[in-house]
A and B are shown apart, each in its own frame.
Chain A
Amino acid sequence: MQNEPSDVLNRFRQGDADAFEALFRQHQRLVYSWILRIVRDPTAAEDLTIESFWRIHRAHARFETAHGFEGWARRIATHAAFDWLRARRGKNEVGAEACSELAAPANSDPAVSAEIRLKTAQAFGRLPPKLRIAATLAVIEEEPHRVIASALGISVAAVKLRVFRALRLLRRDLQQQGITP
């Protein structure tokens, strides 16, 4: 991420519309990409990018220029994605189509059957959103724990704990379906 000139950040903090537009244009792709990794739905990711920047716009006076824009935007985007997942919990199980649309084919393990992959994805969609976000970012997207902790506003230890709990719940869910990982 590029370092924004402090002038733009200062003007944004004071509510300058042009500075906000400049920051939007510069960061929209990063925010979209971050949200997409969490929600895994391109249409929802676009809507949530707008929602995140709307929250950023409303909170401009609370922005601290010394801490930089990227981390702050990522944290707000993570909260927006969390709200979306929570609102859709139970009806947004990740299906096979979504997997194949977003998947990088080279990463697919041929040793794991399509049925098990689908059931795993569905079980993952049933996890509590806060566990799901931590596991998505840490295990699937391999983001550093430090970055995830900052985005979630929790400690690195708490991120590790959430990942552990997510994997344990996922394993239990799969075992109940007769799948022994």
Chain B
Amino acid sequence: MNEDDRDQMKKLLKAALPQVDAKSGPSGDLWPAMQRRLDEASAVQVSVSQTGFNWAWFDGVLAAGLVVLVASFPSAIPLLLYYL
């Protein structure tokens, strides 16, 4: 593609998709929507932190069970590693 082709393509592209109006702005103040997004995120964060405690407890039990299993049946180690 030579320079003339490029210029021709640029001209065609500009004709097909003219510039967005420089004065374009949002339909209104977007801060209320932003505030809602922040509030939702805070609520989710609180929820996650509460759930996070439960998961940590659950993870602890799983880990303890795994340690007991490995200590009781060392031959199960390769099998566990295979499935990890």
Contacts and interface: CB of A to CB of B under 8 A. Distances in A.
B17 interface: yes
A108 B30 contact: no
Interface string A32-44: 1100110010100
B9 A170 contact: yes
Interface stretch (B32-40, B53-61, B67-75): B32-40
**Which label, helix, strand, loop or mixed, suits the secondary structure of the A interface?**
helix
B20 A25 contact: no
Interface string B1-21: 100011011111111111111
A108 B15 CA distance: 5
B19 A107 contact: yes
A109 B15 contact: yes
A124 B10 CA distance: 12
Interface stretch (A46-54, A80-88, A148-156): A46-54
A33 B22 contact: yes
Contacts of B33: 46, 50
B48 to A, nearest CB: 14
A95 B15 CA distance: 13
Nearest to A37: B20
A46 B26 contact: yes
B41 interface: yes
A167 B1 contact: yes
Interface of B: 1, 5-6, 8-22, 24-27, 29-31, 33-34, 37-38, 41
25 contacts: A21-B31, A24-B30, A25-B29, A29-B26, A32-B24, A32-B25, A32-B26, A36-B20, A42-B24, A99-B18, A102-B18, A103-B17, A104-B18, A104-B20, A107-B19, A109-B15, A111-B15, A116-B12, A139-B14, A140-B13, A164-B6, A167-B9, A167-B13, A181-B8, A181-B9
